[in-house]
Structure 1
């Protein structure tokens, strides 16, 4: 079978399509025939994060496909069932998925839409519901709203009745996100949005911030938070890994700052959130309140082109790698 690898050496990251044996499911695992797999920006960042150390590894975080076989101890899954979930080495013909991460694909979703769910929507769930406790009528600020996590955060917030302010440097993307329910669109990549946020919220500030951008906007986000507001740190595409913290504001306004990252979590910790995600969020996907926004599906052989599409920041929502058999 075919699997995509990435060989990292310093700032160089070379993609390689390799032939290899089909994996076999171990205890507690499903063997999945992959029909589509989602791209995630963090996977292609070198020098820190997922690829801080050099070397080659099979890549891909999430997949949707058909169950081929189940390992020892697995119940409730049969060959041919549609499944999606986070799994390693997902850019492949076949992949092995931890059954604790496996979720049934709603009938209304295509393979490409299903592959767009496992990572970014579970991140949005972690951010907004588990930690953020976002409620109806809350204000949410999403910096980098046109990213995969940004769009998912917008959709999840709107599904639960919140109002959303989004920033992006692309006016055309913001215009399209109004169709997804974006209440206030701010066309900027700079830390200059405080006054507009305060005007939109009647001077109160926002109850929740989703930071997809990094340290360059962190201080401005702190200024935008309401009393007992929360800030969730997701990514740092700006490459700025440090930022000042206004300790007086943190103390006086009882702010909560937290990070959402899967890298340092154990498989058990990652799996622990899946039942809540299925219970709390998947009904909104199944009934159409949330529909994953797929920017473009590239053929399996064109991962390099898909990566360049992401690097050029041309996309809105998720980029997907689709199997020719999908």
Structure 2
């Protein structure tokens, strides 16, 4: 089968299209004929920690398709079922999914739309619900709201009944996101949004901030938080991995800063939130309250162009690779 691999060395990372054997499902796994997979920026950033120098592994982190074979002990699924999930090697014609990570594709969604859900929205669920404890009526601040996680955060927050402030360097993208319920859009890439956040929240600040950008906006996001506010760190596309911390503000406001990453989690830990996500959020996809936003879909052999499109920062929402 055809499979894209990420090859890393001391100078950078590159994609290679390889011919490899079709994997066979082990206990607790399903083999999926992949129809679509989504790009995630962190996988393509050299030094982001997802690929060690001198390593090579199948690329792709989430996708959707049809089950073709069940591993030992797998029940509740059958060949032909439409499924989506986080899975290593998603940019391949066939990939293995841990059955604990496998979710049914809602009937109203295409497999391309489904491919944009698993990793991004599970991360967002961790950010907003499991750790962020966002409640109805509270304010959410999203740095980089037009990114995949940013758009997912906006959509999920509206389902939860929260109000959303988003930052972006593009006014056109902010205007586009108003249709999804963006309450306040701040056109900036600089750490200069504190006053606008305070004005929107009547001087109280945001209850939760989602930082998809990195260290350049950390301090500004921290001081934009309300009493007992929380900030989740999910990426650092700015390449800035350090930031000053105002300990007095952190102390006085009883703030919480947390990270969202699966890098060091066990398979059981990664699967722990799946049932809660399926119960709380998946129905919103089934009834249309959340509609995946796909910026553009590329054919399988156009993977380099898809990667270049992501790196151009011109997209809003997810970029999808068609495989089937």
Normalising by the residue count of structure 2, what TM-score does the alignment of the two structures yield?
Answer: 0.99
**Alignment partner, residue 197 of structure 2:** 197
CA distance in 2, matches of 1:54, 1:45: 15
Determine helix, strand or coil for the equivalent of 1:18. strand
**Alignment partner, residue 175 of structure 1:** 175
**Alignment partner, residue 20 of structure 2:** 20
**Alignment partner, residue 103 of structure 1:** 103
CA distance in 1, matches of 2:200, 2:11: 41
CA distance in 2, matches of 1:167, 1:161: 20
Q: Any residues of structure 2 matched to 1:1-326 within 5 Å, and which? A: 1-323=1-323, 325=324
Determine helix, strand or coil for the equivalent of 1:119. helix
CA distance in 2, matches of 1:312, 1:105: 30
* CA deviation after TM superposition for structure 1 residue 264, in Å: 1.1
CA distance in 2, matches of 1:172, 1:257: 31
Determine helix, strand or coil for the equivalent of 2:118. coil
* CA deviation after TM superposition for structure 1 residue 154, in Å: 0.4
- 1:95-133 per-residue CA deviation (whole Å, 9 max, x = no partner) reads 010000000000000111100000110011001011111
The answer to whether the 8 Å contact 2:42/2:48 transfers is: no
Determine helix, strand or coil for the equivalent of 1:63. strand
The answer to whether the 8 Å contact 2:207/2:230 transfers is: yes
CA distance in 2, matches of 1:173, 1:76: 42
Count of paired positions: 324
CA distance in 2, matches of 1:277, 1:48: 26
The answer to whether the 8 Å contact 1:62/1:88 transfers is: yes
* CA deviation after TM superposition for structure 1 residue 11, in Å: 3.4
* CA deviation after TM superposition for structure 1 residue 225, in Å: 0.4
The answer to whether the 8 Å contact 1:212/1:237 transfers is: yes
- 1:289-316 per-residue CA deviation (whole Å, 9 max, x = no partner) reads 1011011110011111000000001110
Q: Once superposed, what is the RMSD of the aligned Cα atoms? A: 0.8
The answer to whether the 8 Å contact 1:46/1:52 transfers is: no
* CA deviation after TM superposition for structure 1 residue 53, in Å: 2.5
Stretches of 4+ moved more than 3 A in 1? none
Normalising by the residue count of structure 1, what TM-score does the alignment of the two structures yield?
Answer: 0.98
Query: Which segments of 5 or more consecutive residues in structure 2 lack a partner in the other structure?
Result: none
- 1:246-269 per-residue CA deviation (whole Å, 9 max, x = no partner) reads 111111111111000111111110
CA distance in 1, matches of 2:210, 2:170: 18
The answer to whether the 8 Å contact 2:198/2:224 transfers is: yes
* CA deviation after TM superposition for structure 1 residue 6, in Å: 1.6
Query: Which segments of 5 or more consecutive residues in structure 1 lack a partner in the other structure?
Result: none
CA distance in 1, matches of 2:170, 2:48: 27
* CA deviation after TM superposition for structure 1 residue 54, in Å: 2.5
CA distance in 2, matches of 1:117, 1:55: 27
- 1:40-82 per-residue CA deviation (whole Å, 9 max, x = no partner) reads 0010011231124222211100110000010000000000000
* CA deviation after TM superposition for structure 1 residue 185, in Å: 0.4
* CA deviation after TM superposition for structure 1 residue 226, in Å: 0.3
CA distance in 2, matches of 1:11, 1:255: 38
The answer to whether the 8 Å contact 1:10/1:46 transfers is: no
